[in-house]
Amino acid sequence: MRERAQSVGTLDHFKKLEALNADTEAALELGRESGDEELIAEALRLLKEFTESVGELEFKCKMNGEFDSQNAIVEINSGAGGTESQDWADMLLRMYTRWAEKKRFGIEIMDYQPGEGAGIKNATVLISGPYVYGNLRNESGVHRLVRISPFDSNARRHTSFASISVTPDIEEEVEVTINEADLRVDTYRSSGAGGQHVNKTDSAVRLTHIPSGIVVACQSERSQHKNKSRAMKILKSKLFEREQEQQQAKMDQLKGVRKKIDFGSQVRNYVMQPYQLVKDLRSNYETSDVNSVLDGEIDAIIESCLLMTD
């Protein structure tokens, strides 16, 4: 049903383009014949709308990855720096949830570990909607913030880091074999809101895949069994994606492709002091409207990353 809805949406987009094209030609022809400036102005307005609609379609054409149409699991981890980085991680969590809210996407906090003084140590959020993973897949990496610290009594400038990991929420059961001996299962009490039940029972589950070092956690359900099931699904998705990345790396090596793969370097800078600037270091997109970006207005950055040439 979801695939059908996506196909219908694509067909509707083409029908819209056909209608805009016909209306633009008709308005322009009538305007030329009659010399009516209002008709010519209307033709220009329709042409602008047509151009924007073509741009939207071009953007959607970039969503051709195997899992681009899937929901996305976004993991946010604070870097070294204690309270500063934990507050920055919380700001990023808000940025992505605000973006999802504006898109009317579903949001589910699957894991949430609050910081000691402020912010969060880490969080995992499931964002549900059409092509969420395709939109967010380039958000993975280290994000850097420069600002006057609200936690520094001397009002000094601080640099904070947080890492983002985006994984597709693969709905079908992927063929990944996990040896139980390679798995460590830990249970603990949920740290988020949820009433007396989650505060008194070890319903949250953390899975550690020892060979790969991948750790996933889930505490969104009241049942330990359900949390373990969901955590296992996330783990399989991560292992599946990891295997694909390794295969792609081997293919690139055989083809002689030399692509920069540096998971430790930042992909985007957010500077609030001494000037205002958000810059993506891959697409070179820049904007001085830092507050809007942190409030979830990241579509322009996402588009710049998807449309950039290799």
Q: What is the pLDDT of residues 18-43, one digit of tens each?
A: 998 999 888 888 888 888 888 888 88
- 120-128, strands of its sheet edge to edge: 106-114, 120-128, 71-78, 157-169, 141-148, 266-271, 277-280, 286-287
Residue 136: per-residue pLDDT: 94
Residue 180: per-residue pLDDT: 85
Cβ atoms of 72 and 132 within 8 Å: the answer is yes
**CATH topology of 71-172+259-307 equal to that of 180-255?**
no
| H-helix or E-strand spanning residue 128 | strand 120-128
Identify the bridge partners of residue 186 per DSSP, sorted by sequence position.
206
Q: Is the pLDDT reported for residue 199 higher than 60?
A: no
Measure the CA–CA gap between 128 and 169, rounded to whole angstroms.
9
Q: What is the pLDDT of residues 139-180, one digit of tens each?
A: 999 999 999 988 887 878 889 999 999 988 876 555 677 888
Q: Is the pLDDT reported for residue 250 higher than 80?
A: no
Q: Assign 211 to helix, strand or coil.
A: coil
Q: Is the pLDDT reported for residue 102 higher than 80?
A: yes
Residue 90: per-residue pLDDT: 96
| 3.30.930.10, 2.40.420.20, 3.30.160.20, 1.10.357.10: CATH of 180-255 | 3.30.160.20
pTM of the model: 0.69
| 3.40.50.300, 3.30.70.1660, 3.30.420.40, 3.50.30.10: CATH of 71-172+259-307 | 3.30.70.1660
Lowest mean pLDDT among 26-35, 197-206, 216-225: 197-206
Lowest mean pLDDT among 130-134, 200-204, 267-271, 289-293: 200-204
Please give the share of the chain, as a percent, with pLDDT higher than 70.
88
Task: Tokens 């014949």: give the residue.
Answer: 33
Delimit the domains of the chain by residue range.
2-61, 71-172+259-307, 180-255
